[in-house]
Amino acid sequence: MRIATWNINSITARLPRLTQWLETAQPDVLCLQELKVSEDGFPRDALAALGYESVVNAGGRWNGVAVLSRVGVEDPAVGLPDAPAYDGVVEARAAAATCGGVRVWSLYVPNGREVGHPHYDYKLEWLAALRATVEQPAAGSAPFAVLGDFNIAPTDEDVWDIAEFDGATHITEREREALSALESAGMKEVHPRPLKYDVAFTYWDYRQLCFPKNKGMRIDLVYGNSAFASAVGDAYVDREARKGKGASDHAPVVVDLEV
């Protein structure tokens, strides 16, 4: 089974590239983030034509996540249990489904904006809710994973130049402690193998030629329980999907399971 995650950065703007990638990469399950579309605007019919059912949590102009599956959808869920609100709104940042016997959550973790900002505290609260959500299925025997844009680089090596991030979010100790909390709950990170470069970055800013210069970050992550992690046969970042005009600023992370 092939499972992938991709911050699409507007499914409307990226739909032709998405459908082409689905036809080429042939994932069985795809977790999408940053849809930037309403529920009514989500292209269910176009994706159904390719054989994919959709579980969608979309709130309009910002955020939005989905799970696409061509191996069935069971027990769909939208919204992280006990997720905190920001400015009185519970944002569209999580969706789940069991697909071909594998339970997956598509996640778009809050950015945090800057250290000390209320959004940073919101990010940490959201991650605490995620930790509580994974605790029970992490200990289970069925394959379970959370995938998506975590807006956290797990180590200093996961950013192109750590000096450029001094005092910024995405690399702070408290954010990384939140990732460690997932691991203490029984989740294991699935590390994509490097292809062209030593580190498999997943995000590159559109500005200042960051992609061709490989000035990137690894913030799109996959965590699975033991049943999931032990079934991983391969994992990689599809850099080709980041190339060319009209690409998302993120690349898909692809995980192949031997199940």
Residue 111, marked binder = no
Q: Is 87 annotated as a binding residue?
A: no
249 is in an annotated binding site: yes
Closest CA to 47 of 70, 76, 77: 70
Any idea which residue has 């990384």 for tokens? 176
CA distances from 135 to 2, 103, 181 (A): 24, 14, 10
Per the annotation, does 225 bind a ligand? Answer: no
DSSP H helix total and E strand total for the chain? 5, 14
Measured CA angle at 125 (ends 10, 42), to 5 deg: 20
Tokens of 120: 């940073």
34 marked among binding-site residues: yes
Q: Mapping DSSP to helix (H, G, I), strand (E, B) and coil, where does residue 88 land?
A: coil
Positions marked catalytic: 108, 149, 250
Q: Is 7 annotated as a binding residue?
A: yes
Structure tokens at 58: 């979309």
Residue stretches of the annotated binding site: 7, 34, 149, 151, 249-250
Residue stretches of the annotated binding site for Mg(2+): 7, 34, 149, 151, 249-250
